[in-house]
Structures are given as C-alpha cells and as structure tokens.
C-alpha cells in the first residue's frame, strides 16, 4: 500500500511532466521542417505544431494548361512536410516521456 508521500510524489512528477510538455509544445511551434516536391519546384515549410508557415512555388511550374500537376505538387510538398513535422514532434515527445505511450498527447 502506498503512503501519502508516494501519492504526493506522483502528483509532483505529473506536474513537472505537464510543465515540460508545455515547454516542448512551445519549442515545437518555433521549430520548422521543409519538404519539397517536383525536384524543388514546390517547397512547404511547416512548424512542429503542423501549421503551414510558407509555400514557395517556382513560376515555371505554374502552367495554366496543367493546374492539376501544380495542385499535386503542392499537396505532396505539404503532406511530406506535415509528416516530417509529426515525426519530429513524436521523437521529441518520446524523449520527454521516456518512450511511454501516453494517449492523447499527439
């Protein structure tokens, strides 16, 4: 049976972890990943909170006769950047939680 000290210690650890998670989320917001498609024709920059920060499109790929290709390139670049951002966030969260899987974090 756990004494009062044990419960207090668990609560203190939980509060410390919550504070570290909040700090990590702020840090992730400032970190960026970049991904491109079409050999660099379209580049997306996304932060660690999966927000698209910028999108660069080479003018040569903006062909009015082939809008579908441009849409595909934009979609591919954004999806790859989001994927990298999510992986970065999961790796950082894994370092924080020591590999524990805590539902609802990411």
pLDDT in tens, the chain (106 residues): 455 567 888 888 888 888 988 898 889 889 999 999 999 999 999 999 899 999 999 999 999 999 999 999 999 999 999 999 999 988 888 887 776 655 555 4
Model pLDDT, residue 98: 74
Neighbours of 4 (CB within 10 A): 7
> What are the backbone angles phi and psi of residue 53, rounded to the nearest 5°?
-95, -40
Domains of the chain: 4-97 (3.30.1310.10)
Model pLDDT, residue 42: 97
Say if CB 69 and CB 60 are below 8 A apart.
no
* pTM, entire model: 0.75
Of 84, 102, 92, the closest CA to residue 20 belongs to 92
């Amino acid at each position: 049976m756990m004494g009062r000290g044990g419960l207090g210690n668990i609560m203190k650890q939980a509060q410390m972890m919550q504070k570290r998670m909040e700090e990590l989320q702020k840090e992730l917001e400032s970190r960026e990943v970049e991904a491109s498609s079409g050999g660099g024709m379209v580049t997306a920059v996304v932060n660690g909170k999966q927000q698209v920060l910028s999108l660069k499109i080479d003018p040569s790929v903006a062909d009015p006769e082939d809008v579908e290709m441009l849409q595909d390139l934009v979609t591919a670049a954004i999806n790859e950047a989001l994927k990298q951002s999510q992986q970065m966030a999961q790796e950082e969260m894994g370092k924080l939680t020591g590999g524990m899987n805590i539902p609802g974090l990411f």
